[in-house]
Amino acid sequence: MQLKPINQQVVSVVGASSGIGRITALKFARRGAKVVVSARSEPGLKSLVDEIQAFGGEATYIVADVSDFEQVKAIASQTVAEYGRLDTWVHVAATGIIAPFEKITPQEFERIVQVNLMGQVYGAMAALPHLKREGRGALIHISSMQGRRSLPLQSPYCAAKHGVEGFLETLRVELQHEKLPISVTSILPATINTPYYNKVGTKLGVKPTGIPPYYQPDLVADAILYAAEHPMRDFIVGDVGKVLDLLQKISPSLVDSLLLLIGFAQGTNEPKSEDAPNNIFAPVEGYDRVEGDFNKLAIPSFLDWFDMNPQLKWGTLALAVLGVTAFLGGWRPGNEV
């Protein structure tokens, strides 16, 4: 399966007013792609398009709520109307609430699942006909490591992200069965320093935080751009995410124990009422930026580079295996110095 170079692509980024979506749109545009951005926040979208056009990029925007299929369908339709086709669909939009399950209302739970799961489903439904018409393309869905391993205090978000993973597995195999050269990629970030924690709901009595360490959103954007040119199944962003995925496969009960120790520390010292504005049902103004408030807790990720250089990754692994094998082969009882 071969995807177009980014500078020849028309890309739709859904959920682009802030955070991962915003930096992703900027990077696509800087690489020469034509970009259509969408979200609920018109001021955020307008400032993003102005920023892209200021450096000579091509972009337009459409205001849309991903919980409404007709509005999502309109994103894809406007992309094709504006630029003639759609090559890559990037679905980032998400919301959440950080609270014990028993404090979450049915309406809040349903809304978060509607946005975070059904929004992703609607995105694929809207984009696929256009990708099929082109004869190739990429669906890139931003899931989460919480789609592999759930965390306490985030039950609706985790439920939705697990649903996304199940949906994408089904869709991927169905497209393979049809022999359609359309890549379906799940991007699974660890904790990312975006304004997400400023905007989501909380019933902890304080401003919420993720479980550190944090990674900067440009790492996720780099993974998305890589997947837009290189078909791949999934991409875990952040070394801690890769470790968590391994531990979950080895011993879920061990991860349970770790989360009992650290998983409930998802609040800062800054008071915040549960009645404070949040973006569960409507956009929140003032956070149309890329990074959140936790730059001091952000660390680099080293293993992501290997995932974007698979030949070196497997070559390094092979050398490591050979080295261990040679060491064990030369060791004999009594050889110790």
Catalytic residues: 157
| 326 Cβ contact partners less than 8 Å away, ≥ 6 residues apart | none
- Distance, CA of 112 to CA of 70 (rounded, Å): 18
Q: For residue 84, how far is the Cα from the chain centroid?
A: 27
- Distance, CA of 17 to CA of 58 (rounded, Å): 16
At 336, give phi and psi (nearest 5°): -65, 145
φ/ψ region of 133 (left if φ > 0, alpha if ψ in -120 to 50, else beta) reads alpha
In the block, residue with structure tokens 């979450």: 104
Helix, coil or strand: residue 142: strand
- Distance, CA of 80 to CA of 189 (rounded, Å): 29
In the block, residue with structure tokens 């504006």: 82
End-to-end CA distance of the chain: 54
- Distance, CA of 100 to CA of 119 (rounded, Å): 24
Q: What are the tokens at 305?
A: 């580079």
- Distance, CA of 301 to CA of 311 (rounded, Å): 19
Beta strands across the sheet bearing 234-237: 58-63, 34-39, 10-14, 88-91, 137-142, 182-189, 234-237
> Is 43:285 a contact under the CB 8 Å cutoff?
yes
At 258, give phi and psi (nearest 5°): -65, -40
- Distance, CA of 59 to CA of 79 (rounded, Å): 10
For helices 42-54 and 19-30, what crossing angle results, to 10°? Answer: 20
- Distance, CA of 75 to CA of 66 (rounded, Å): 10
